[in-house]
């Protein structure tokens, strides 16, 4: 059982690393992140949607999609 947990942990970490590498190797995504950092550096945090609001919207959308029959 311990070995299975370690394998699962390894696979999760590997997936996270691959996703990170995919983002870092994308010039388009890196440019978008650099552009998003500009207002942060200027202290213009009002330009952003608070995480809690985004999270609620995603959860609400997910529950609506889950109740639909495809």
Domain boundaries, the chain: 2-67
- CA–CA distance, 61 with 63 (Å, rounded to integer): 6
pLDDT digits (tens, 9 = 90+) for 7-41: 999 999 999 999 999 999 999 999 999 998 998 89
Q: Which helix (H) or strand (E) holds 55?
A: helix 51-67
- CA–CA distance, 14 with 6 (Å, rounded to integer): 12
Instruction: Label residue 70 by pLDDT band (50, 70, 90).
Output: very low
DSSP track, 9-34 = HHHHHHHHHHHHHHHHT-HHHHHHHH
pLDDT attached to residue 68: 56
The pair of three-digit structure tokens given for residue 28, joined into one six-digit string: 């388009």
């Amino acid at each position: 059982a311990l070995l299975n947990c370690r394998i699962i942990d390894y696979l999760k970490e590997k997936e996270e690393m691959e996703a990170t590498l995919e983002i870092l190797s994308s010039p388009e995504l890196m440019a978008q992140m650099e552009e998003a950092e500009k207002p942060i550096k200027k202290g213009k945090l009002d330009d952003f949607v608070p995480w809690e609001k985004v999270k609620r919207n995603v959860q609400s959308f997910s529950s609506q999609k889950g109740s639909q029959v495809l």
